[in-house]
């Protein structure tokens, strides 16, 4: 099989397994198509990461742990015939067109759940792109799911007991059923935390917020010194905040590669101390480990950065911020302010607009290299206009980064 082929896998772990089987098989020759990308990835991440090794054999990897700019490059390289295979998860199935002639469905699940007939058809539909191939082919390792009538439930209309209270809290009273109104009323009369704060923390279950507020309120003077921090916390303050987040907001075992509040604090503090992904990886890699273990460590770090640092931690720490602020204002105590720390962690201690540029195909590492040529001014459109006219050949960046910058110039 020499045609462009998409291989669907259920998870990043499964995708890495398939990619490794391919490049270890001895069936594929190395090529020079992606040499500059390989050199850059080995330099900025690690030489034993599976992604650059796979690229050497014309195999791309696309899943949720890989930075967005690099994922976009993999799709582009596949569409330009620089990659024969693209091993992917559901991150590539929704709304991304490729020139795949063949689709191999290696797993019949999305994460741990078997996919339904609709998702199966969506995956199959990635084969044989219009105006590229007359027909497409789909290869299965499992029986296809049974065809079924589409069933769509709108929980905000049905308002069953399973509808999360955090959703009900955001609805207009006139749109609630009587039973839902009773649920919302019971929460509103909790006597601990205002409905205003609960609604402001819209992504977190109300009862979890009330329970956390109740914990602080049970001994506010004792907890005050460790919650009143501004800008950046001490490690003790950070650890306490993370343990509160884990105990009241997470309430699970392993989430996003993290097992506990204390581990979350350790990882956040490492990121704050080191300040960049390359050194973060270097600090956690044990060079004596086998390549699979090293790859797992790298991707766990990338998952932490994307899942926790750039999204969930800022959300949770700001929820804690609003709660402590209300409780300590009530008793005329100095309140903390976690907004600066939250925003710095969310943007990985660089300009927030550089994080946004990752969506346009420019990695954060590259943005930081050319920051002296840019005036962000808090305006993304203004920043993109500057990038559009950058004299790329005169920049002190690698050949691969020049390629990415040219691609972005052609898009904006």
Pairing of the two strands 85-88 and 5-8: parallel
- Residue 97 has, within 13 A of its CA and on its CB side, a CA count of 5
pLDDT in tens, 177-203: 777 777 777 777 888 999 999 999 988
5-140: CATH architecture: 3-Layer(aba) Sandwich (3.40)
How far apart CA 61 and CA 247 sit, in angstroms, is 35
What DSSP line would sit under 174-238, residue for residue? GGS-HHHHHHHHHHHT-SSS-HHHHHHTTTS-HHHHHHHHHHHHTSHHHHHHHH--BSS--HHHH
> CB neighbours (10 Å) of residue 214?
15
pLDDT value at position 147?
Answer: 76
Query: 104: part of which helix (H) or strand (E)?
Result: strand 102-105
CA distance 61 to 70: 10
In tens, the pLDDT along 223-247 reads 999 999 998 999 999 999 999 999 9
DSSP category for residue 130: T
**How many residues can be counted in the chain?**
412
Q: What integer pLDDT is reported at residue 246 of this predicted model? A: 97
Model-level pTM? 0.88
CB 280 within 8 A of CB 301: yes
């Amino acid at each position: 099989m020499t045609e462009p082929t998409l291989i669907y896998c259920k998870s990043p772990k499964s995708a890495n397994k398939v990619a490794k089987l391919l490049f270890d098989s001895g069936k594929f020759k190395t090529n020079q198509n992606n040499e500059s990308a390989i050199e850059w990835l080995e330099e900025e991440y690690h030489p034993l990461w599976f992604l650059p090794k796979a690229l050497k054999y014309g195999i791309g990897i696309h899943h949720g742990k890989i930075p967005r700019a690099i994922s976009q490059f993999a799709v582009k390289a596949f569409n330009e015939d620089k990659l024969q295979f693209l091993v992917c998860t559901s991150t590539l199935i929704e709304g991304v067109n490729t020139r795949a002639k063949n689709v191999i469905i290696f797993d019949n699940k999305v994460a741990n759940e078997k996919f339904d007939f609709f998702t199966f058809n969506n995956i199959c539909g990635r084969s044989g792109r219009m105006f590229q191939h007359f027909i497409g082919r789909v290869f299965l390792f499992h029986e296809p799911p049974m065809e079924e009538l589409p069933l769509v439930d709108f929980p905000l209309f049905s308002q069953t007991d399973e509808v999360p209270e955090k959703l009900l809290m955001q609805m207009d009273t006139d749109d609630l059923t009587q039973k839902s109104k009773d649920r919302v009323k019971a929460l509103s009369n909790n006597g601990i935390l205002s409905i205003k704060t609960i609604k402001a923390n819209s992504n977190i279950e109300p009862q979890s917020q009330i329970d956390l507020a109740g914990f602080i309120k049970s001994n506010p003077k004792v907890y005050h010194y460790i919650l009143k921090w501004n800008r950046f916390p001490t490690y003790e303050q950070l650890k306490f905040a993370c343990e509160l987040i884990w105990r009241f907001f997470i309430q699970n075992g392993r989430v996003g590669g993290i097992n506990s509040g204390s581990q979350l604090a350790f990882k956040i503090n490492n990121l704050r101390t080191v300040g960049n992904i390359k050194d973060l990886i270097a600090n956690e890699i044990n060079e004596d480990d086998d390549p699979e273990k090293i790859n797992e460590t790298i991707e766990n770090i990338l998952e932490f950065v994307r899942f926790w640092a750039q999204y969930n931690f800022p959300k949770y720490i700001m929820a804690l911020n609003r709660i402590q602020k209300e409780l300590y204002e009530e008793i005329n105590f100095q309140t903390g302010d976690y907004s600066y720390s939250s925003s710095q962690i969310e943007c990985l201690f660089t300009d927030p607009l550089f994080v946004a540029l990752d969506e346009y195909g420019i990695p954060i590492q590259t943005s930081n290299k050319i920051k002296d040529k840019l005036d962000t001014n808090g305006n993304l459109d203004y920043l993109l206009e500057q990038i559009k006219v950058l004299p790329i050949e005169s920049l002190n960046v690698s050949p691969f980064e020049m390629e990415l910058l040219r691609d972005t110039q052609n898009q904006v």
